[in-house]
Amino acid sequence: MNLLEVTRLNTYYGDSHILFDVALHVERKEVVALLGRNGAGKSTTLKSLMGVVTPREGSIVFDGVEIAGSKSHSIARAGMQLVHEDRRIFGSLNVEENLVLAGLTSENRWPLERIYAMFPQLKERRTSRGTDLSGGEQQMLAIARALIRDPKIIVRDLVKACRDLADAGQTMILVEQNLPAALTLANRAYIINNGHIAHEAPTSALKARPKVLERYLGV
């Protein structure tokens, strides 16, 4: 059984129809890329999966449970974590406080030692406030805040420090503007175009078909 199974997802912003019958699936320990031009529907897809936006129609089965229409905090508790592009860390708190706060409501939270073993730089900066971190360090902290909750799946906006996670078997959906990085990291990719899933293939097949990438991504 797939960890995530999405079928016929239709999402609207007001009267504007944004996603049209979107269907995708993610197996356990798989890394899947969601590719598309700006405005194609990538962010709306992620927000629909996480309950930030409520889809009007369709099914989202996560780990055997229907979650379409659920609140985002319930979906997060079930084991899906969204790492936002804008990082969503607490600038006034230090690194360790950010991590402890993120793990408070998780039953199986990782010990800090496990996080610090994966991100030694965060251990060095553990007493530094969020606002004092570099952009890369803030992104690292955002990933660590998601991981400390022991998620079953991470929905990613950016690819940084993800190779080790993929090698360790972390399930991920990622949206990444750096196409070579996305195609290298992911096993499979979906291309979304004007709110429709236009193409789905193993990333190895996409690399061998540059015309498909050029058609939908303009690369």
Mean pLDDT by 10 residues, the chain (219 residues): 95 96 96 92 94 96 96 92 73 91 88 93 93 85 91 69 78 84 90 96 93 87
The pLDDT assigned to 12 comes to 97
The pLDDT assigned to 115 comes to 94
What gap in Å lies between CA 16 and CA 56, rounded to an integer? 12
Write down the domain spans for the chain. Answer: 4-79+152-217, 94-150
Are 77 and 46 contacting, i.e. CB atoms less than 8 angstroms apart? no
Tell me, which fold does domain 4-79+152-217 have in CATH? Rossmann fold (3.40.50)
The pLDDT assigned to 105 comes to 80
The pLDDT assigned to 36 comes to 93
The pLDDT assigned to 34 comes to 95
Longest Cα–Cα distance in the chain:
49
CA angle, corner 155, sides to 153 and 161, nearest 5?
90
Structure pTM?
A: 0.77
Tokens of 174: 């990622």
The pLDDT assigned to 84 comes to 67
Report the SS3 class of residue 47: helix
The pLDDT assigned to 184 comes to 86
Axis-axis angle for helices 135-147, 95-103 (nearest 10): 30
Could you tell me what percentage of the chain is helix, strand and coil, using 3-state DSSP and rounding each to the nearest 5?
35, 30, 35
- 70 CB contacts (<8 Å, ≥6 apart)? 51, 78
The pLDDT assigned to 180 comes to 84
